Structure 1
Amino acid sequence: LDTTQPLSGSDFGSISGCKTTPESSSGLKLPGSTEAVRAVIAEPTPIVQPPVQPNRCLTCRKRVGLTGFRCKCGSMYCGSHRYPEQHGCTFDYKKVGKEAIAKANPVVKAAKLDKI
């Protein structure tokens, strides 16, 4: 190639090894860009709002802000109502504790031996 002469359109195809047409060698056509733009513009994207977290104590309705305590029953409480005894919690701690112990310590049972 002569580097002193400006390149023509056919020279670009021979240098890069690619065709300048939008069709590939397999004969597939690229989708029309205007159709894709129309489809994107036609669909309005709904604005998804995150769920609002409660910022008040469920018992006394005091604003808790960042210092709120979430109980295992799923409610938010202030510092004075954070304990289950203070807010009349309905969560069964005893049942959950028994299940955790049963899961962590499976029953170990020896196989019975035949008496000789």
Structure 2
Amino acid sequence: MKIGLFIALMLFGFASQAQVLTYRQGDPFLFCTKGRDDPSRCWWPMPPYLGTTYMVNPACEPNPYGKPWSADDVASFEQYATVCPAGQRPGGWDSAAGQPEFVPNYH
């Protein structure tokens, strides 16, 4: 009984630590390189060679006249900060099938 309870708690603990990406249909490559698919988003990812990991839209806060960040902006940025650093270095897109947001379908 105790061993079964221990195993169940361990499995629950491992499952609760998994990060689920809720944007771009769970595609981490596309999300980490292009960000959310929303032209009015308040942040977008930047290539690491530029010295920063993201850029804030000038039309949003912290600009005193900018629009506030939406719940999607905040949630997607939190996911970006936790999911994307797990890849040690970014890979390039190499496919004859087209742009990454169109393979296998638009996402």
Superposition TM-score, scaled by structure 2 size: 0.22
Superposition TM-score, scaled by structure 1 size: 0.21
Q: Larger % of helix: which?
A: 2
Higher relative contact order (CA 8 A, sep 6+): 2
